[in-house]
Chain A
């Protein structure tokens, strides 16, 4: 439990940061809140030669609504900042709620949304709701900026499409949309400071009692957060009922491949996917963005 030696930089601008990361090579890593990377370093699971702190890139802390684009969350926004943001609460209370369910207060004060995404653990709490709401992420590197849908951002446990040489995640955009409700349900083994055994996010577009469109994203039950598209198909275009949502829940179980580990068996996780898919759909349908 001792932090190994590393070089430390705190560049003043995004351009300087990417240039520095290119110069230092892939053994250097960006540092945001440090709640993942410093822990890994202490446990001997990572040993970057240098940490490039992003703390001076204050523009990346911003959270705002841009008409035409949607909700823009800077990569350095902390979980508590997202939870407490009036803009977030006004447009997608569900994102604020998801941020509130993550880790514990101390971690939420430091940990950032960018770190949560780049860290790419399958049980992370922010990806499911962001994917369900169709978010995209922008990365800036030596060759300029690119934007990808979040659903194709993750490539495996602890792996994502970000280029190790100089790319920095800058912002997350949740587009303006006609969804009428969304929610994220986390099932953890205690009320605070527990990773998700299963996390289910749903977003729906309702037309009266008819489900026009639905997106269901499952966390902690596959190597990456996964969209349960077949489950959405079961309900789209139909008038909702408890039986229909149960059907969607059962279908969603076919869209995951959980492992058995210290937090739960695969069988338990699968059954939880059924239960929480049904509950999360019902909540988004009947309560809006919560």
Chain B
């Protein structure tokens, strides 16, 4: 049959366009000859389990006598709880426990210690549609729904705050009595002298932008199975951080951390939404304690949307002063963030929003004002890129406006201002490696920018944007002197296998794989002989988990140290066995040889490891990593610090249907400086994935609410993640880079590639049509509307579809 067509009536595979080609992860990367195991696209260690369906996620686990639990949530955005009657529910056959705030600890929790503002269950007021009120444990799932229906809650509905721009009004309803005017977080940072910079500037411009509420929408719903036995609690969870879960669960129930074991199973994606306890762990633990049975709890898709912790909606005002040449002299960022009903990770999100703006371009004068306000909507938190992607969109759009006003090419203005290596940002971030200039130049060249810019046919446009992200946060989420990461390696007694024990948390991104590559490289061993035990607070050493793109650098540093410790001991024993000075020996891929004669294999890793075991017992290595003290002295200085920063430039080419506003993204070129690469295939997969999410947020995704604060689209049908068919051709490439602060020179890639995407699409649309859509997502209807406004402003006749003769009756 013939080709499917798109709405514009063109075949989806237009023969005039070059054939769809994708950068094949891993294939075209040149082999890194300096290393034996890293720098190679080793297959994912868990690929087989996953693709054959053998991998067991938390929801797949079953335990004898296991009960099913569900949480009853509020139907109102803001209401006072007058009474809760659970008696009918308790009478239902199969119901084993019904609990409310009376049955659980009342200690407030949260992931941000500065604002612990959540309770396991609400006692006085409910603060958003979906707030937690009670929970049940039953013999099966079906009984849970019957029991939830039988719980009677009397509410007095209160006026709700749904508009963040009015949350701080004097007469706005109060959501948390402790935080007057719904002021959750207020930030005022001032570096250099912005006013003087604006005075000195040849041109000062202000723009406004609005971000969208988006949700991580991981494939796997949140699940936790809790087993409280003999005063000890075990929780299997779909988590990004067993450590934080362990810490907060122990704190909530007054248990020593040693009595709480959190085990990560396979995880089907998190993207920031599974970093903090979800309520399922707390309710499940309480229900298991009461019933004495394992309790499995999970959210369905709509409940996931209500629990949220996704991207904040931000209102962003940016003012920038530049000189005639387009050099940035000073920037003022003035933002409001809709935090939703609780803090979640929002304080960090709020700081990140402004703090990360100083990274990709050099300027000395910077002021950042932020209000994160409470509203009666689901709480927002950290989503891939944390608070940074929307401000990055705003700034990149703002910079293109300035470039246009000054008549400077968008890449030129970026090259002029691009950050250089070994510099310090005005907010005291120390940047070591930085190939921003190389990224921009390569993006320009591989995208054919010079031939395209200004020469594309009508409706086509090309845009550029940059991004930068931390390779791990400089400080953990709560105050502690624990190291960031630690690792242990145990070599088997006959030397034919070694197991890496690490608290690092693979949630699909592949950390288990690359950490085993790193361990093998450091030990002089092979990847294929590595096994891993990870993310179990009882059997693996401490690590903070998967967030802030930290594991390649931080967990990797600990693993490298552990591997090197194994290697040192191994070579010592080899030296004794061979009667050879150990410092003159080397081991690579399990073969031991003299450094000056690598072609003659003297003995093997396996033989020596076996002898070591016979003589001394287990051959083990240990490692741990703590970053140096980072950051300045001002309030909030620690947020955004990192041992290293990744840099990226993205160019996209779009085609716009000028009548419908539909935006077809044709090509995206991502050029990344992410240090030395451990596994090229996984690296490019991260770029594809991050870009995919950035694209979704740029054009399609938005959590919408009805007038009562209820989510209008809590389904994957109406919360439209892009599909494979919506993806552009993706060209992911790298520039050579080496980061002195990272093991083998590594930096992050997982979140950085989300940052430039929204701005780069906006700029491509701006280039194509000369219209700016100043709010995300850049939906067809918004583009359509902007195009019509422009035509009207240009004096063209624009037909009004609202005023034609009507032939129908309603």
Contact = CB atoms under 8 A, between A and B. Distances in A.
A53 interface: no
A191 B726 contact: yes
A254 interface: yes
Nearest to A255: B807
Interface stretch (A9-17, A61-69, A141-149, A182-190): A182-190
Interface stretch (A26-34, A162-170, A171-179, A261-269): A261-269
B808 A270 contact: no
B426 to A, nearest CB: 41
Nearest to B7: A187
A236 interface: no
A100 interface: yes
Interface in B733-789: 779-781, 784-785
Interface residues of B, number: 45
Nearest to B780: A189
A266 B810 CA distance: 14
Interface in A224-262: 226, 229-230, 250-251, 253-257, 262
A186 B7 contact: yes
A200 B189 CA distance: 54
Q: Is the interface of B mostly helix, strand, loop or mixed?
A: loop
Given A190-B723, A193-B723, A254 B781 contact: no
Contacts of A195: 717
B219 interface: no
Contact of B808 (A96, A257, A283, A290): A257
Contacts of A255: 807-808
Contacts of B723: 104, 190-193
A45 interface: no
Contact of B799 (A96, A194, A250, A276): A250
Contact of A2 (B142, B722, B725): B142
B712 A262 contact: yes
Contacts of B662: 187
B254 interface: no
Contacts of A192: 723-726
Contact of B2 (A185, A194, A270, A290): A290
Contacts of B720: 189-190, 193-194
A254 B700 contact: no
Nearest to B799: A250
Given A190-B726, A191-B725, A193-B717, A89 B801 contact: no
Contact of B704 (A97, A185, A262): A262
Contacts of B302: 1
A274 B808 CA distance: 16
B40 to A, nearest CB: 35
B1 A188 contact: no
A123 to B, nearest CB: 12
B7 A265 contact: no
B532 to A, nearest CB: 34
B5 interface: yes
A223 B12 CA distance: 31
A67 to B, nearest CB: 23
A71 interface: no
B653 to A, nearest CB: 18
A18 interface: no
Nearest to A191: B725
A279 to B, nearest CB: 5
A22 interface: no
Q: Which of A185, A187, A189 has the most CB of B within 10 A?
A: A189
Contact of A188 (B7, B722, B784): B7
A2 B145 contact: yes
Contact of B9 (A84, A190, A251, A279): A279
Given A192-B723, A257-B810, A283-B9, A187 B660 contact: yes
Contacts of B810: 257
A101 interface: yes
A60 interface: no
B804 interface: yes
A93 B1 contact: yes
B802 A222 contact: no
A255 B804 CA distance: 10
A276 B8 CA distance: 8
B7 A268 contact: no
A272 interface: yes
Interface string B656-683: 0001101000000000000000000000
A57 to B, nearest CB: 27
Nearest to A280: B9
B797 to A, nearest CB: 12
B300 interface: yes
Interface string A49-84: 000000000000000000000000000000000011
Contacts of B300: 1
Contacts of A226: 808
A89 B1 contact: yes
B700 A189 contact: yes
B9 A275 contact: no
A97 B4 CA distance: 7
B717 A270 contact: no
Contacts of A186: 7
B230 interface: no
B804 A250 contact: yes
Nearest to B781: A268
Contacts of B781: 264-265, 268
B141 interface: yes
Interface of A: 1-2, 83-84, 89, 93, 96-97, 100-101, 104, 185-195, 222, 226, 229-230, 250-251, 253-257, 262-268, 270-276, 279, 283, 290
Given A187-B660, A276-B7, 9 more contacts: A101-B4, A185-B5, A185-B9, A190-B722, A191-B12, A251-B804, A262-B713, A273-B801, A274-B799
22 contacts: A1-B300, A100-B4, A185-B5, A185-B9, A188-B7, A189-B780, A190-B726, A191-B723, A192-B723, A193-B717, A229-B807, A250-B799, A251-B804, A253-B801, A253-B804, A255-B807, A262-B718, A266-B802, A270-B801, A274-B801, A275-B659, A290-B2
Pairs A-B, 6 closest by C-beta atoms: A270-B801, A191-B725, A187-B7, A271-B801, A192-B723, A275-B659
